[in-house]
Structure 1
C-alpha cells in the first residue's frame, strides 16, 4: 500500500477519516509507513505479538491494543527484528516497547506510548483479528493505516482503494 501523508488524507476524506489521539511516540528508524491492519488485543502478555511478527507480514501493520498499560513492554528488539525479517511495515502499540536504542536502528515503523525495561510475561493469552478500541478510533482488521510525524490515520479498505 503506497504511503500518503496523514494531513493529505484528512484533506481528502475530511471527517470520514478516523484517527488515533495524540500520544504515540516514534521508536523505529521508519517514521512514515502504511499498510493493511492486523490486530491483537492483549494486556501485559505479548504471546500473540511475538507469534504474528514471526509470520510473513507482506507490508502489513500490526496494531496492538495493550490497554495503555505501562507495566511492561509488549515488544523489544528481538521481536521487532523478526518483524523486519518477515516484511512487516510497522507496529502500533497502545502500550510500551523496550530496547529503544536497538529499535531506532531497525527498518520498521514503530509507534508506542512509552518505553519500559520490564518484559511481559507470556501466558499464551491475547485475541487476534478482532476490532480494537484505541483512544480516538475503532480499529478493524483489514483497515488501511497511515502513520507519520503528524499521527495515525485509519481508512476503510474501500476508502484506501479510492486513493489509487
Structure 2
C-alpha cells in the first residue's frame, strides 16, 4: 500500500479514533514509510520481552515499545533489528533508545526511536505485553493500525486507505 501521512491526515483526521504522534522520534532503518497492525510491550531498561516478540514470525505487524522514555540504555541493537526484519516485522516504534545505528540504517525495516545510546539494556525479563501504551500524545493499542513516514506517525483503530 502506498500512502503518505499527510494524505491520510487530509482524508481521515476528523475521525474519532485518528491520532497523530508528537514529533519526538528520530528515523532509523532504510525503510522510511511503513504500516501495519500494532503489538505492544512495556519495559524499562530491559529487552527480554522485546526479544521474545521479535523472534516470532509475523505478517504486517509493528512493534510499539514503551520504554518509559529512558535515555540510559538501548532497547534495540543490530541483532534484534535484524531478527525483526527476518521475521516479517514492518517496523518498530521505541519510546527509548537504540544502538548500532549505522548498521540498523542499512536494514530494510522502519524504526523510530527517541535517540541512540551505546549501552545495552538489562536482561532480567520484567514487563507487560498487549497493554495500551501511552506516549507522544497517542494511545497505542494492540491490533490498531499504525502508519509512519518521514512526516509523522498516525494511529487508527481501523485501517486507513
Any residues of structure 2 matched to 1:7-156 within 5 Å, and which?
Answer: 7-16=6-15, 17-156=18-157
Task: For residue 3 of structure 1, report the CA deviation from its aligned partner.
Answer: 4.3
Q: TM-score, normalised by structure 1?
A: 0.94
Q: Following superposition, which runs of at least 4 residues in structure 1 exceed 6 angstroms of deviation?
A: none
1:80/1:145 CA distance change after superposition, 3 Å: same
SS of the counterpart of 2:29?
A: coil
CA shift, 1:143, in A, is: 0.7
Q: In the TM superposition, what whole-angstrom CA distance separates every residue of 1:53-112 from its partner, at most 9, and x where no partner exists? A: 110121200000111110100000000100011010000001000001110110100100
Between the aligned partners of 1:3 and 1:156, the Cα distance in structure 2 is 19
Matched residue of 2:89: which SS? coil
For 1:107 and 1:57, locate their aligned partners in 2 and report how far apart those are by CA, in whole Å.
16
- C-alpha contact 2:24 2:136 (8 A) present in aligned 1: no
Which structure dedicates a bigger proportion of its chain to helix? 1
Give the alignment's TM-score, normalised by structure 2. 0.95
**What SS is found at the alignment partner of 1:93?**
strand
* Structure 1 gap ranges (5+): none
Unmatched 5+ residue regions in structure 2?
A: none
CA gap of 1:43–1:3, structure 2 versus 1, over 3 A, is: farther
